[in-house]
Structure 1
């Protein structure tokens, strides 16, 4: 790995990056990106919005993309492609390279192109920013280790999708894939937060030592993002590494669920023109009090056209009109959070009901800025464990991603979310095998489609542990073997076609040494304990070792 690191937090609502130019062995020195100064703002992230012209050519990203699209009129807007919050297109789905997502005007574009161009822009901006802040420094992408954060609850196909988008964007090449690390967002936050002293948190209710100095401590990290609530559970080991105690969990009830409820509230009052005030609401939802929203002139006019305005607002529960502003009561503001908070409560309670000894809940991510969210978690679970939130919780993931880039083994072991295995054949035994699986070959009768388990659901898997499977050619001159990978939430499936077992990926393993005929043996080694599944093939005749790509986007 390189000494220099750039970490990208590619969020549903907002995205940014952080870099460190310190050598190995030295402390990480994070430098955050800054956005929006040309708009009178100074934020560590930009809106995850991207604009293309009618020929699907990239135009703008972030605040500029949003501004230019809002300014568009009529035919120009109908021809363009504007995407916002498009990361959620990868949530809860099996992804293919051809999947398309819809722009704001209903037109579609391949998701891979949208993500690629967004990552390319962030890469170019990062390299430009670093060059401007290092006297005479000239850097290219290959000078860095890149870290890209993704939700822990994403499917393997979505993680592969992001790696391929990053490759097409020029962060790495096919030969330098090892310079790109996929980091799980709550794990990155753990890596940063566990080094913070007591005064690094908004609520300073622990004993003063940083968590990495407290082996045996168990804690939950809840990454409260715009799209997802992403939860991991860790125990601190001696030396400061982490052990995962519960497989990653969560839901899609992040901060944008609150935004959606607010939009529904506005649309009961106004027929259109809502989008232009959503930016102001991003800040208002951080407080827990009555709020006042100043409306643009055209929205006030719209309301007045419907009926005399003060009388109209008499029928609006929880809101009143005050000369160009709407006053929203604390109770109404809290109602926008109800669905999201219920999902958070259910997810946390499921974990806390397990036989664990959780001492802390750490709240991170932009949505954790909300006083309503933080107080709700304290009210619900404060009698069971201490609730901590770092200052600037949205920065924790980016800064932690730098730590992850320097120390990818910080999470020493993880819980396998599924039981994984291959389909194999063995000699047919009428006492234990299904008759419909019997086949006949020159050597006798066999049974096919038997689930050969590699890892069991809930099993602790070390970050660098491997599982092995010996491949045997079916023909003497066979030079390549394709083998499918299966998974299930069941512990001990017997066959790969049982209910609940699904095929998720395909390995293509070269077997070039045909001189051994059907005696040729290749050992396939798989790593399940990292943030991505990786594999290596070892030819047992020549000893040659090579990486094997597994394709999760073939389903």
Structure 2
């Protein structure tokens, strides 16, 4: 595929993992494509220690329009957090068995966020957007600063002259089940930030779990290649990749197609995911805190030092979260700083601290654990449905480093598959950015992907009383036949293989006047149901994007002449081809076997 990553000359590859709560970057170059030669960005403005592989994804706007970001934001300052999720605010994550379950999850996420903002002033301060900027504007601002830091790191490491004359491939990752609109907005924000905009630089989007899978397998083989390890993956083996981050948890299942001379993977099941990352554990803590100390004290806590006290509690909770695991002694209590409040043991306030019991701490985690287990179970069931049993579940991402999550998954019985070995590779928090670099160095290693939804267009068709509703019936003025409007012709079915060599075609035809510039549009619709409905009226069907085909550059002599009501007109039959990449759909226009470039796409 022309837009896939194929490296000819010497190039630098940067992997960019823009996350909900933290973001990271890594880089390598084509002269050394070993995993050991990938360098992770560890120098961040405002951070004294220089060994952090990620930087907070927060941004804070000042009254003069300037902004601070990441570690440069002082504690307690109003900020805009979780901006990444706003790029996909209109979409929802689908469950393979029942889409309604995940509609409920998305509504629950929206309701939780709104209620948290309304009830918790400190959290409202974490969603501070004084200029009412759009999500893509906010993300572009953050990525501008992020891009500058990466370029500064590259120049420091390799010299300004070398960087200025060497092309860079930017491989940016997005959630596997990101909507097409969110993918487009992510690319727009990155481009506005200057990413991939230098001469000869390029920007690619890759799914987060695909990048993480490349890293996990490469880490397993490159570092253990000298060992005779019977537990290594073999050709034909399957595994689940679970990328658990701050906002989202994404999963894809793969089958190993080949190991030599390079890694080859194919998707076994349609990717799944949900907004149930580690930030939801924090929100459960806030609910618990408010419930135990009461509304009045909670409001005072939120207002103390402009929210800095509560902010400090949430920050300290990060360490408590990390401590929860198999070595955590049942009955042990944790304490979070809560200065300035009188002792009230019944409310958990003891000597200026908030007491968090072992059971309460688990209670903050367990609802999220159940959602993640359910997601993994869905992928395992899909693999078992193919006659295979997954050998491993690879757990990556910041939340993927949780000992408690690891122990819960390791102890869980996954139905007919039983217990499955859970592997968290080294440097799991930076697995996505490292894998993105490997993906850029080695090209596309996933040979086949599964289409995540159904794609089609609205049509009129011959009326069938067993399928169509009378409210959609009409009689054609040309043929007199009874027809049905508001129907859908599905071009791509959910779950089908979408390898790089497969093109899906939307065939179009039109007539137009001589001397008219030929531009025609078509609306692409989508449905996330496993079985696509016939009717456009079905609640699962939604307008996805508007495709504008521009044939104005085609010589008029190339079109066919037709007679319409005694008038000579021109006729054109053209095709819009859809090609599925890791995290994008590419649309190209073809007329009489010639390609006339990409089709302008406007997402709804």
Q: CA RMSD in A?
A: 3.3
Show the counterpart of 1:62.
Answer: 70
1:425 and 1:446 in contact (8 A); partners too = no
Distance 1:432 1:275 in 2: 57
Structure 1 SS opposite 2:268: strand
Distance 2:422 2:228 in 1: 8
**Among residues 500, 505, 508, which one is paired with 1:463 in the alignment?**
500
Aligned counterpart for 1:285 among listed residues 321, 341, 344: 321
Alignment partner of 1:9 is 2:17: yes
* 1:420 equivalent in structure 2: 455
Q: Does 1:329 align with 2:338?
A: no
Q: Does 1:51 align with 2:60?
A: yes
Distance 1:40 1:168, change over 3 A: closer
Which residue is equivalent to 1:362? 394
* Contact persistence 1:416–1:529 (CA under 8 A): no
> Using a 3 Å threshold, how does the CA distance of structure 1 residues 200 and 228 change in structure 2: closer, same or farther?
farther
1:146 equivalent to 2:166? Answer no
User: Structure 1's 140 and 437: CA in aligned 2 closer, same or farther, altered over 3 A?
Assistant: farther
1:536 counterpart residue number = 588
Aligned residues of 1:141 and 1:170 also touching (Cα < 8 A): no
Note closer, same or farther for the CA distance 1:449–1:132 as it changes in structure 2 (3 Å cut). same
1:472-551 equivalence runs, <5 A: 472-477=509-514, 479-488=518-527, 489=529, 491-512=531-552, 513=554, 514-515=556-557, 516=559, 517=561, 518-540=570-592, 543-551=594-602
Partner of 2:434: 399
The whole-number CA distance in structure 2 between the counterparts of 1:17 and 1:440 is 58
2:86 maps to what in 1? 89
CA–CA separation in structure 2 for the residues paired with 1:166 and 1:38: 23
Pick from 373, 392, 403 the counterpart of residue 405 of structure 2.
373
Matched residues in 2 for 1:540 and 1:508: separation? 18
- 180-189 vs 447-456, which deviates more? 447-456
CA distance in 1, matches of 2:165, 2:335: 44
How far off is 1:500 after superposition? Answer: 2.6
The separation in 2 between residues aligned to 1:141 and 1:292, in whole angstroms, is: 54
Q: Is the 8 A contact 2:267 2:448 kept in 1?
A: yes
Q: 1:392 to 1:182 in 2, by over 3 A?
A: same
Give the SS at the match of 1:133: helix
* Deviation larger for 441-450 or 40-49: 441-450
Partner secondary structure for residue 318 of structure 2: helix
Distance 1:453 1:278 in 2: 48
Matched, 1:110 2:115: no
Cα distance, 1:348 vs structure 2: 1.9
Per mean C-alpha deviation after superposition, the further-off stretch among 431-440 and 166-175 is 431-440
Contact 2:505 2:576 survives alignment (8 Å): yes
Match of 2:148 in 1: 124
> Structure 1's 443 and 406: CA in aligned 2 closer, same or farther, altered over 3 A?
farther
Would the aligned equivalents of 1:127 and 1:141 in 2 still touch at CA under 8 Å? no
Between 1:261-270 and 1:4-13, the stretch displaced more is: 261-270
Number of residue pairs matched?
515
Q: 2:257 maps to what in 1?
A: 237
Q: Kindly tell me: are residues 36 and 285 of structure 1, through their superposed partners in 2, closer, same or farther at Cα, counting changes over 3 Å?
A: farther
Decide whether the 8 Å contact of 1:253 with 1:339 is kept in 2.
Answer: no
User: Corresponding residue for 1:387?
Assistant: 422
Aligned residue for 2:412, secondary structure, equals: helix
1:498 deviates by: 3.9
Instruction: Determine helix, strand or coil for the equivalent of 1:519.
Output: strand
Which among 194, 205, 210 is matched to residue 217 of structure 2?
194
Q: How far apart, CA to CA, are the structure 2 residues paired with 1:195 and 1:503?
A: 39
Q: CA deviation at 1:175?
A: 9.6
User: Which secondary structure state, in structure 2, belongs to the residue aligned with residue 397 of structure 1?
Assistant: helix
Q: Residue 475 of structure 1: CA displacement? A: 2.3
Q: Residue 60 of structure 2: SS of its match in structure 1? A: strand
Q: CA deviation at 1:324?
A: 5.0
Which range moves more in the overlay, 34-43 or 163-172?
A: 34-43
Find the residue that maps to 1:421 and give its secondary structure.
strand
Task: Please name the residue that 1:249 is paired with.
Answer: 272
Deviates more, 1:402-411 or 1:494-503: 494-503
Q: Could you tell me which of 31, 42, 49 is aligned with 1:34?
A: 42
Please identify, of 332-341 and 483-492, the stretch whose mean Cα deviation from structure 2 is larger: 483-492
| Residue deviations 1:115-173 (CA, integer Å, cap 9, x gap) | 00111111111111110111454535982111111111211111111011111111134
Say if 1:119 and 1:217 are closer, same or farther in 2 by CA, change over 3 A.
same
Question: Do 1:18 and 1:398's aligned partners in 2 also have CA atoms closer than 8 Å?
Answer: yes
**What's the CA shift for 1:266?**
3.4
Cα displacement (A) at 1:525: 1.1
> 8 Å contact 1:35–1:46 — kept in the other structure?
no
Indicate how the Cα distance of structure 1 residues 347 and 492 shifts in structure 2: closer, same or farther if over 3 A, else same. Answer: closer
Q: Distance in 2 between matches of 1:266 and 1:499?
A: 39
2:382 is aligned with 1:343:
no
- Please list the CA deviations of residues 304-362 of structure 1 after superposition, one character each: whole Å capped at 9, or x if unmatched: 2xxxx2xx12x14xx673x5555533332212101101111222223333314211111
Deviation at 1:230, TM superposition (A): 0.9
Report 1 or 2 for greater relative contact order, CA contacts < 8 Å, sequence distance ≥ 6.
2
Is the CA contact (8 Å cut-off) linking 1:506 and 1:550 kept in structure 2? yes
